[in-house]
Amino acid sequence: MRKGAYYTNEYRNLFSELGIDEKDVDAKVQDTWERLFTDQYPETQIYFETDDDMGYMVDTGNNDVRTEGQSYGMMMAVQMDRQDIFDRIWKWSKKYMYMEEGLHAGYFAWSCQLDGTKNAHGPAPDGEEYFAMALYFASKRWGDREAPFNYSEQATSLLIDCLHKGENNDGHPMWDPENKLIKFIPEVDFSDPSYHLPHFYELFAEMAAEEDRPFWKEAAEASRDYIRLAAHDETGLSPEYAFYDGSPNHIRGFGDFFSDSYRVIMNVGLDNEWFADSNTPVEVNEKVQKFFQNIEVEDYRRYKIDGEPFEEKSLHPIGLLASLAMASLATEGELSDHYVKKFWETPLRTGERRYYDNCLYFFSLISLAGKFKIWK
């Protein structure tokens, strides 16, 4: 049985396995980074800098800054060894998004205007978990400095709040303390399957506060089970929101396979690459790849999880293709190779909706190139 990269420190390059020259892979990764993070390519740029040594990722479809994007940008920066950009994004996030008082003290406001004004005073847990993992990796790769660049301390403090808020009637935790499942937002009792990152929780079980490490180990297994539970038995499609029993939660129309859902198979793929755990639900990825095998990118739509299509087209078709390619970290065969090749031949998205697609694109690119690494 294959062991994961956590144990071997060896990462597959699925592009080179298809015969693509490694120099071309390296060049594409660097070129894609520059297209997202520099002003040389305004048609694809999503990262911007301020005059006071800060930076932010813009959700170009909504013209705001989100903890999702900020934490993604930090993870991209640590993987690319760009501490300067990592620190700029973290500094902006701490200054404008971090909440020091009120019900959500210790969390980050999920959406801000480009000038830093908060659009909301509530958090979105996918941002917090990516912030924490990126901070731990930064600590391992570059070492801690003075606050707020004492990365590991910042990560540990954040995860303590994520688990223990509410114990003193001071808010709500981001993970349900009983079933160990991440919530959609702290105040509700349902989840978002795409928030489940068992491969992160395995590492939190080594890096977080010592008393919380058993929780994180249990959360990793709980999330692997939940991903399998929430995915449709035949299609493998997951809803954007789901109850703890895995059934779709159609509140505000989020019980179908749509934008958030794309990340589920990406997470399964990376979990398999890093840990290759016997409980990783690789069959979910196999089913989803099979479901889309005869559907062209331009025909991607919203779907009920049983596969019934809506008239509504996908808002992020390139993001969906990127996820189908990254899913190949947990699948094998001609269909797996098909998606990797198709993704390789597909450029970044341009235009108003480019942010989400291109975030998923970059994560898929570095993962398939064997460059989304664990720093420990």
Q: Which two tokens stand for residue 330?
A: 């947990």
Paired sense of beta strands 309-313 and 111-112, if any: unpaired
Q: How many CB atoms lie within 10 A of CB 13?
A: 15
> Is 68 a catalytic site residue?
yes
The owner of tokens 């800098």 is: 49
Pick from 240, 144, 227, 243: nearest CA to 190: 243
Active-site pick, 59, 64, 68, 240: 68
Catalytic member of 59, 129, 192, 260: 260
Residue with tokens 């009983």: 178
β-partners of residue 66 are 111
CB under 8 Å to 78, separation ≥6 — which residues?
86, 134, 137, 138, 141, 375
Kindly calculate the radius of gyration of the chain based on its CA atoms and give it in whole angstroms.
Answer: 19
Pairing of strands 301-303, 111-112: unpaired
Residues noted as catalytic: 68, 260
